[in-house]
Structure 1
Amino acid sequence: MYTFLAGIALLIIGYFTYGKFIEKMFGVKEDRATPAYVNNDGVDYVPMSTSKNSLIQLLNIAGTGPVFGPIMGALYGPVAFIWIVIGCIFAGAVHDYLTGMISIRNRGAHLPELASKFLGKVMKHVVNAFAVLLLLLVGTVFVSTPASLLHVLMDGKIALGIIIAAIFIYYIAATLLPVDKIIGRLYPYFGALLLISALGVGIGMVVTGAPIPELSLTNFHPANAPILPLLFFTISCGALSGFHATQTPIISRTTQNEKQGRKIFYGMMITEGVIAMIWAAAGMSLFNGYNGLNDILAAGGPGAVVSQASTALLGAIGGTLAVLGVVVLPITSGDTAFRSARMIIAEYLNIAQKKFSSRLWIAVPLFVISAVLTQIDFNLLWRYFSWANQATAVIALFVGAMYLYIAKKNYFTALVPGSFMLVMVITYILNAPIGFGLSMTTSWIGGFIGAAVLIGFFFRAAKKARANNMPLEDDITGWKVA
């Protein structure tokens, strides 16, 4: 249990130390007006309070990632704690903070627009297609996942198809209506439920003295499954996730002042890391080790782990509330996934979103495609999502590194984690059955060579951009902070 508690402590310390360092290095401009005021349209650009934005951001980025991912990652044993802590502090929270703050400096632009500006116009088209595909996969996965959990929770009394239809109806409303009408009103309550349920499970393990294993690289992990690079794709949202780069611009359009950025972007990623630590620990300690956890995962998936762990630690009523807290996660990321997709497409096609009809004709095709995708095997969708997710994280980190390089600031804070994950992304797709199926040795060689080439292109482009004094932010002359 000492490893678990130390990990939680390090995450909190990381927020107050490295998070403060990143904020100071980036350079907050408290007197600069934010897009929430400059571009206020009453739909997507709406000023909201720090507490609302923080809880919405947490729910936007979370999904089932900090629960299901760490539960699967628990199969690797306590080494999973290392990735959650280090990944969260030095990669994930930096990724989220830079994406959010650079977006604020550029009228709340989404990742494709930022990639176009900082990595080249060709990247706009590539990242746009990539981001929309990722969001469609996320939205689809987060229809099926909560529907299955609710179906189990209600003992099958309501047909799975009816639950899926109800979730789709909610998603359509949340995608089309102004951000402060549903998301702004409901998410603070959902966020409280999420935090209470996670803390309940965490405190329950400490109080009952759950046998959480201590750190050891020789502890259980899947046979014939190398820790590297698979661990980094099994646990993503609790440590580093490109999906977050598609979500932070939603809140960059509602943030009132840049000084709120560390709490909203860096802080909520740290909070997600704490949630990930709790569920990873639950998976490791409550099912008699690797074999027990593997058996329950084979029988009922991560949802069964959540249900049994919650009930065992919190009783019937508390367990039900905890499961509902987990159900909230995918629903509150699924709706914003579709909302982000709608906003990205509108931005790409330069279509204003103030009119309801303009939002409608973009959103309808997205839901039709998603409905078709729900018929595809969930496990296959999830494998492709995992790779696309981390590839998107790499792009976002390189956007951050480019911004900092041009600004003559410490770009290594983004370049180092971005380069590390670039090697992992290339190696994974070369080796994985969903990719090229090459041997592990060949894949590692390809990963390092491919990353070296791409990093070389990055430096060439970065030096050119700095020499040409590329503008880093939009001109908002005449505007003052509210």
Structure 2
Amino acid sequence: MISFVLSLVALVIGYFFYGRLVERVFGPDDRVTPAVAKADGLDYIVLPSWKIFMIQFLNIAGTGPIFGAIMGAKFGPVAYLWIVFGCIFAGATHDYLSGMLSMRHDGAGLPELIGQYLGKTTKNIMLVFTVLLLIIVGAVFVYSPAEILHSIGGDTLMWIIIIFSYYVIATMLPIDKIIGKIYPLFAFSLLFMAAALMVWLFLHWPTVPELWNTFYNLGAATHPDTWKDNIFPALFITIACGAISGFHATQSPLMARCVKSEKMGRPIFYGAMITEGIVALIWATVASWFFYGTPAPGYTLIEQATAGFHTSAPAVVNLVCNEWLGVVGAILAMLGVVAAPITSGDTAFRSARLIVAEWLKMNQRPIPKRLLICIPLFAISIAMLVWQIENPDGFNTIWQYFGWSNQALSVFTLWTITVYLVRNNKCFWLTLIPALFMTTVCSTYFFVSKQFLGLGNDGYPYGAVCLGVAIVWFVLWYRKNNNLKQ
């Protein structure tokens, strides 16, 4: 538990000190924001800052900082290091700067920003990639809450139909009608769940592995039932939303279109990510007790554990909320866990609609034009969902591809921000180092993982080559850019 406390303190300190440094580098000012300049009553609407924070937090949370942290905890307490350092120096920086960059470009979506700084070809590739990722998010974030609701009552298919019906309504309506009204309440539920679990941890002070007791074993995951993958790069793909997530860069523009002043950016974008890191930290500690702690580890209580780790994450959530928080607490906690993925799913579809509309230059005020974009998006997502249901390991498979795609998108976002910082004579090291690190993580995972090329340990040299290529590419581009300025 000492590792947990130190990590918690580090995240809070990171917000106040490193967050302020990142803010100073960007330099927010008093210029008119897109929410005011382009107000349309649909997507560009000024909202109160506290409400934007709650919506942003709920949008980026989903099941990522919960399921990802539970899965990542099987790698041992080294997960704390990734959550803390990843969140402060990569994730929160990524979220803040992508949101502020969108604000500086009239609320532009991520593919438009990528195109402006990485070129038209990259933009077209990432346009397709981003929309597909958002559709996958919608499919993943339907299935997991439907399964959790099924454990409470009703049929899984019934809940899927209800959730998709909600998606259609929420994606089509102005952002202040449903999202602006009920999302803060759901965000409160999710925060209550995290706070209640943190209080439980402090009251019971369970014995869980500490960093200094297991630091000698950083080569592979430490739990006998977990993946056989090495910590690098598997840990950095598994814990995404609690550390850094490319999906967040698709959500930040939604809120960038609702912010009245640029100076509200740090508490909204950087702060929401730090809050998500705290949620991930809490669930990683809870899972550590389940897998390793004393007394009475709870892993044996999960019936599906022998079927593979991924399938047990929802069971951990369900069991913890019911066993630890009492009836009222369990209801509110489960509401937060269910609401988070559902709300992330509908804003994923909303982002996809706006990205496609921006590419087609299609006015979204007329409802038929919104439907024209939404119907194909929903159709593809439903097809993925059907495939998940019909295949015994469908959810796990899609989740793994989602994890890699999610982190790959963060790579392009970080490189986009790095180019922006270089062109504007700002401290580009803030994002260059995370960009190089995540480039190495994603490329290495592509070579070594069974989900892709499956080269195993033979794939590591190729990851190193990709890192070298990225460094050489940046140095050459940087010199060329400086020569052009001169």
Q: Which residues of structure 2 form unaligned runs of 5+?
A: 388-393
**Aligned amino acid, residue 116 of structure 1:** G
Shift, 1:289, TM fit: 4.6
Shift of 1:456: 2.8
Gaps of 5+ in 1: 470-482
Are positions 1:403 and 2:420 aligned together? Answer: yes
* Residue 456 of structure 2 corresponds to residue 439 of structure 1: yes
CA displacement, residues 104-136 of structure 1 (integer Å, 9 cap, x when unaligned): 000111111011000111111011011001001
Q: How do residues 81-480 of structure 1 correspond to structure 2 at under 5 angstroms?
A: 81-154=80-153, 158-215=154-211, 216-218=214-216, 220-221=222-223, 222=226, 224-289=228-293, 293=299, 296=302, 298=305, 301-376=312-387, 377-440=394-457, 442-465=458-481
Q: Which residue of 2 aligns with 1:476?
A: none
Instruction: Write the distance in 1 (CA, Å) between the matches of 2:277 and 2:325.
Output: 22
> How many angstroms apart in 2 are the aligned matches of 1:14 and 1:251?
23
| Equivalent position SS for 1:435 | coil
Secondary structure in 2 matching 1:41: coil
- SS of 1:286's partner is helix
Contact 2:418 2:428 in 1 (8 A): yes
Q: In structure 1, what is the equivalent of residue 28 of structure 2?
A: 28
C-alpha distance in structure 1 between counterparts of 2:475 and 2:99, whole Å: 23
| In 1, Cα distance between equivalents of 2:351 and 2:483 | 34
**Contact 1:233/1:390 (8 A) holds in 2:** yes
Moved over 6 A (4+): none
The answer to whether the 8 A contact 1:247-1:340 is kept is: yes
Mapped to 2, the partners of 1:70 and 1:209 lie a distance apart of: 19
**2-side partners of 1:151 and 1:421: how far apart?**
37
Whole-Å Cα distance in 2 between the matches of residues 367 and 223 of structure 1? 33
3-state secondary structure, aligned to 2:241: coil
Q: CA deviation at 1:363?
A: 0.3
Residue-by-residue CA offset, 1:214-270 (whole Å, 9 max, x unaligned): 112246344632111100011000001011011101001111100000001000000
Q: Which amino acid aligns with 1:407?
A: N
Separation in 2 of the partners of 1:288 and 1:424? Answer: 27
- The 3-state SS of whatever aligns with 1:172 is helix
- Measured in 2, the distance between the counterparts of 1:288 and 1:238 equals 21
| Distance in structure 1 (CA, Å) of the matches to 2:166 and 2:134 | 17
- Output the CA distance in 2 between the equivalents of 1:70 and 1:159: 28
8 Å contact kept, 1:57–1:265: yes
Q: TM-score scaled to structure 2, two decimals?
A: 0.92
Tell me, in whole angstroms, the C-alpha distance in 2 between the residues paired with 1:121 and 1:463: 21
Distance 1:466 1:140 in 2: 45
Contact 1:286–1:309 (CA under 8 A) maintained in structure 2: no
Instruction: Indicate how the Cα distance of structure 1 residues 353 and 380 shifts in structure 2: closer, same or farther if over 3 A, else same.
Output: same
Worse-matched range after superposition: 179-188 or 447-456: 447-456
CA distance in 2, matches of 1:295, 1:235: 24
- C-alpha distance in structure 2 between counterparts of 1:373 and 1:166, whole Å: 17
Give the aligned CA root-mean-square deviation in angstroms: 1.8
Equivalent position of 2:36 in the other structure? 37
1:288 Cα deviation from its structure 2 partner:
4.6
**Contact 1:423–1:450 under 8 Å retained in 2:** yes
Q: Which moved more, 1:289-298 or 1:3-12?
A: 289-298
Of stretches 217-226 and 380-389 in structure 1, the one that deviates more from structure 2 is 217-226
> Which whole-Å CA distance do the structure 1 matches of 2:47 and 2:475 have between them?
38
Please give the secondary structure, in 1, of the residue aligned with 2:386.
coil
**1:365 is aligned with what amino acid?**
P
Does structure 2 conserve the Cα–Cα contact (< 8 Å) formed by 1:53 and 1:251?
yes
Distance 1:340 1:116 in 2: 17
TM-fit CA distance, 1:212: 2.9
Amino acid at match of 1:91: A
Contact 2:35–2:46 (Cα < 8 Å) also in 1 = yes
Do the aligned partners of 2:95 and 2:269 also contact (CA within 8 Å) in 1?
yes
- Cα separation, 1, equivalents of 2:301 and 2:463: 33
Secondary structure class of the residue paired with 2:259: coil
Q: Distance in 1 between matches of 2:300 and 2:31?
A: 52
Paired residue secondary structure (2:177) = coil
Displacement of 1:353? 1.1
Secondary structure of 2:149's counterpart equals helix
Rounded to whole Å, the distance in 2 between the matches of 1:467 and 1:162 is 62
Contact persistence 2:208–2:292 (CA under 8 A): no
Aligned amino acid, residue 13 of structure 2? I
Q: State the alpha-carbon separation in 1 of the partners of residues 434 and 280 from structure 2.
A: 19
Quick one: structure 1 residues 341 and 462, their matched pair in 2 at CA, closer, same or farther if it must change by over 3 Å? farther
User: Post-superposition shift, 1:463?
Assistant: 4.7
**Do the aligned partners of 1:405 and 1:466 also contact (CA within 8 Å) in 2?**
no
Structure 2 counterpart of 1:449, which letter?
V
SS in 2 for 1:374: helix
Q: CA deviation at 1:294?
A: 7.8
Instruction: Tell me how many residue pairs correspond in the alignment.
Output: 465
Q: Distance in 2 between matches of 1:464 and 1:351?
A: 37
Q: 1:208 corresponds to which letter in structure 2?
A: H
1:480 corresponds to: none
